[in-house]
Structure 1
């Protein structure tokens, strides 16, 4: 069941992406031939963009390895705001702010047949510096490959409340991390000044510091450094971007 859900999610995300590609190709046919001086990735241009995702799901009677999920509701939202400046043709530097919020409520039954009401709420913020390189795929400058490198940090807080046999246990986790990410993808120019991008993280280096408290008493501290060299298409992200010039052209 879990694998089916993952494959369905992947098909939906890929379906959205290819729909954008088809739509962008049609719209591009109505766009006039671009003056080289107006090339939208020229030095001095600025871009602003937004990437978002959300999940609203419900799971009932699902048997997992160490727990049976009697009922679970998940709500999550992820928002990324991008901005950048082209220091050279096809090469931009900028920044990214990332906000994530998630809530989970439900009833879990452990392998010892203990039923627990579980509520989990988490929020995180991330701030990153970015550099982005574009490679045109054809002469009309409609399609581009890009590689983005992000370096920065994030902080996240999670509160878990678990009630079993009338006893409430509150676990608070505080995470701080510094990381580098590598995100390749494809960009499609839709109409003049606007584009759609799709990318997936293929590599990353992450250093994390975590403090865990149980019922307001410090329980553990953890430090870790990890690398990730896998491609996760389930984390495919779609972004909408606008490119413009800060200088007003004379009439």
Structure 2
């Protein structure tokens, strides 16, 4: 996982370096028939030690999540674009749970997620130079995840496969900053939406466990920030 993350970072740094010599102060007019393409990435890492809650007593846990999104769009009106994005994500979790009776439970989970999102974007220019824009992206998310989990309690080990299908509507405001003719940096933060998912967990010698979940999420979490660059032409 760490190797994949650093490869992505190096590719992003290389792309920025190639264009860095061409940076000027000019902006870009987002007029009808403009097109763009771009790449975004996000990474979150969380570690917990001796954290107790109503549901479980965590002795240790470590979560890492990396995602890469590519996509593009076409402006059907001034400052209004339609587009589609593709994404891939990698998640891994390790944790140890203190059981009230018996030995602790140690579990490991690794999963990959693939998805695509048709969306619309509204842009608002800040100033006459057309260098800074605020935007809001609203999209429909389709995703599929697959993973493997190993859970060990004493001498008992349970191996499971997990699959999850999800559908949702996302809202992601952001900032666009042009640094060259058509080349821009982008930051956006998913602030929520409406989501539905179905997760199936298959374990050896056990019946399948199925979890269906629907929710409305309106939380702003800066740890879910997406950073990247795009090219408008």
**Is the pair's TM-score, using the shorter chain for normalization, greater than 0.5?**
yes
> 1:134 deviation in Å?
0.5
What's the Cα RMSD here?
2.4
Partners of 2:124 and 2:178 lie apart in 1 by 13
Partners of 1:151 and 1:63 lie apart in 2 by 35
Structure 1: gaps of 5 or more residues = 1-23, 245-251
For residues 1-251 of structure 1, the aligned pairs below 5 Å read: 30-32=24-26, 39-55=28-44, 61-65=49-53, 66-70=56-60, 72-112=61-101, 114-215=103-204, 217-244=206-233
Q: Tell me if structure 2 keeps the 8 A contact 1:68–1:110.
A: no
Structure 2: gaps of 5 or more residues = 1-19
Partners of 1:181 and 1:155 lie apart in 2 by 16
Q: Tell me if structure 1 keeps the 8 A contact 2:44–2:223.
A: no
Partners of 1:42 and 1:176 lie apart in 2 by 37
Partners of 2:167 and 2:142 lie apart in 1 by 4
Change in CA separation of 1:199 and 1:160 when aligned onto 2, cut-off 3 Å:
same
TM-score, with normalisation over the residues of structure 1?
Answer: 0.75
Q: How many residues align?
A: 211
Q: Describe the SS at the equivalent of 2:30.
A: coil
> 1:55 deviation in Å?
4.1
Q: In the alignment, which residue of structure 1 is the partner of 2:17?
A: none
> 1:122 deviation in Å?
0.9
TM-score, with normalisation over the residues of structure 2?
Answer: 0.80
Per-residue CA distance 1:103-152 (angstroms, 9 max, x = gap): 23354433335223321111111111011111111111011110111113
